Amino acid sequence: MAGMRTARRILAGGAVLAAAGWALREVPAELGMRPLASGPDRAARIRRSPQFRDGAFVNTMSEPAAVPSGPPVSMLTELATDRSQRRPAGPVPLRIPPADEPPADGVRAIWYGHASTLVEIEGRRVLFDPVWSRRVSPSQLVGPKRHHPVPVELHELPEVDAIAISHDHYDHLDMATVQTLNRTQKAPFIVPLGIGAHLERWGVAAYRIIELDWDEETEVRGLRFVATAARHFSGRTLTRNDTLWGSWVVAGPTKRVFYAGDSGYFDGYKGIGSKHGPFDLTLMPIGAYSPAWPDIHMNPEEAVTAHLDLGGRLLLPVHWATFTLALHPWAEPVDRLWREAKARDVRIAVPRPGEAVDVSAAPAVEGWWEMLS
């Protein structure tokens, strides 16, 4: 009997190891590709960039020490020991996204959770930072996992005209999502300089990749895309800043949208607003902030200030609710945003995941999250 128990334990252990090995098989590809090693043309463009110095892209608005090399041990401990406040107390309410055609002369946004947002601008569709995986990590065995399902499956998305990425962190650039979109959509991927190397490793054809440095622009299906600055960093491994990060201006014939990506607050938003605004809609990150890293993530009050600097008319908060990436309580970002917006007379919309927001007729804020905090 003892021999049989030992044999069963060995078999069970072998099965666990085999399952773990199967799950980890994608990790090398998830890490992407070093851009400087991906081809001479891309390497030459990177080296010519004003943002590239001494072998890496530089957060010019911050001191080098302000960019973390990884989460401190104390934060990892707190994340593991006091989790109840950093997740919703019940199911996050979802909405089924509309399936009708985008408004031909307006702006409509559908927030899917975290930063993933579909913006319909004057009859065209732009998908920002799509992430559909259960975890934001190089492995689906570990790492921050979703607090709510995605409100629509990737294959159910309407045809989009462009897919815009802000930077290569796992919660903004997801290999599985990119590979599915590569099969199910025809739109180009518009990305900051260097990220094309990751996409090519994941099977995206070079002709579908448009890489831009800050202040460069391109036109797709009648929409003008301008890569603009952000106060952040990049990296999918311990090697940092080998790809560029940024924000996006998207301009149609008469309407304009700004997507901030991830960024600490900086006074450059005033310049972006003066040059490219005003904006009918701004998508501003409000979560995963901390006094320990003000140079890479803004807090909700700073998001309102940046929105005003940009000349924004309606603010839609992103980068909250879906993943726990910092120590603050789950609903704190949107509570603080709502208070600040009322104090400064700023229009905001706080949709449930999947809910469409028509910028010209945005509904009043309902506080749907308050029962979950």
pLDDT tens, position by position, 316-332? 999 999 999 999 999 99
Per-residue pLDDT tens for 141-182?
Answer: 999 999 999 999 999 999 999 999 999 999 999 999 999 999
Transcribe 203-271 into DSSP letters: T--GGGEEEE-TT-EEEETTEEEEEE--S----SSSS--SS---EEEEE-SS-EEEE--S----THHHH
Q: 324: part of which helix (H) or strand (E)?
A: none
Mean of the pLDDT values across residues 27-50?
A: 95
- Residue 177 within a domain: yes
Supply the pLDDT for residue 80: 58
- Checking if the pLDDT of 36 tops 70, the result is yes
Residue 69 has pLDDT above 80, yes or no: no
Residue 20 pLDDT level (bands cut at 50, 70, 90): very low
Length of the chain equals 373
As a whole number, the mean pLDDT across the chain is 91
Tokens of 1: 């009997």
Mean pLDDT value across residues 40-55: 96
Q: Which SS3 state, helix, strand or coil, does residue 121 take? A: strand
pLDDT at residue 65, as a whole number? 42
User: How much is the pLDDT for 66?
Assistant: 52
Residue 162 lies in a domain: yes
Instruction: Locate 17 and state its tokens.
Output: 């190891």
Element (H, E) at 109: strand 107-113
pLDDT reading at 89 higher than 80:
yes
- Do 121 and 250 touch, CB atoms closer than 8 A? yes
With a CB cutoff of 8 Å and minimum separation 6, the contacts of 13 are: none
pLDDT, residue 345, reads: 98
Q: How many domains does the chain have?
A: 1
- The pLDDT score that the predictor gives to residue 194 is 98
Q: What is the DSSP string of 128-189?
A: ES---SSBSSSSTTSS-B-SS--SS-GGGSPP-SEEE----STTT--HHHHHHHHHH--PPE
Neighbour tally for 47: CB within 10 Å: 11
Lowest mean pLDDT among 18-27, 220-229, 277-286, 356-365: 18-27
Residue 232's nearest CA partner among 214, 211, 250 is 214
What per-residue confidence (pLDDT) applies to 230? 97
- Give the pLDDT score at 11: 44
- The pLDDT of residue 236: 95
Percent of the chain whose predicted confidence (pLDDT) is above 70 = 87
Q: Which amino acid is at 109?
A: A
Collapsed DSSP state (helix, strand, coil) of residue 93: coil
The reply to whether 70 falls in a domain is no
Q: Above 90 in pLDDT, residue 361?
A: yes
Instruction: Give me the residue label for tokens 């559908």.
Output: 110
Q: Which of 227, 284, 230, 220 is nearest to 252 (CA)?
A: 220
In what helix (H) or strand (E) does residue 282 lie, and over which residues does it extend? strand 281-285
185 belongs to a structural domain: yes
CB 95 within 8 A of CB 355: yes
What pLDDT score does 118 carry?
Answer: 98
Q: In this structure, are strands 107-113 and 116-121 parallel, antiparallel, or unpaired?
A: antiparallel
Task: Check residue 238 and give its pLDDT.
Answer: 86
Residue 363 maps to a domain: yes
User: Residue 307 region, left (φ>0) first, then alpha (ψ -120 to 50), else beta?
Assistant: alpha
pLDDT of residue 74: 53
Phi-psi region of 288 (alpha: psi -120 to 50; beta: other; left: phi over 0): left
pLDDT surpasses 90 at 83: no
Helix (H, G, I), strand (E, B) or coil at 117: strand
Residue 319 domain-assigned (yes or no): yes
Which pLDDT score is estimated for 168? 98
> Alpha carbon of 322 to those of 39, 94, 113, 216, 338: distances in Å?
36, 12, 6, 32, 18
What is the percentage of the chain residues whose pLDDT exceeds 90?
Answer: 83
Q: Is residue 15 part of a domain?
A: no
Output the pLDDT for position 62: 64
pLDDT at 85 over 80: yes
| Domain encompassing residue 115 | 81-372
| Domain containing residue 146: CATH number | 3.60.15.10
Q: Encode pLDDT of 192-212 as tens digits.
A: 999 999 999 999 999 999 999
- Residue 50: inside a domain, yes or no? no
pLDDT given at position 15:
39
CB 284 within 8 A of CB 111: no
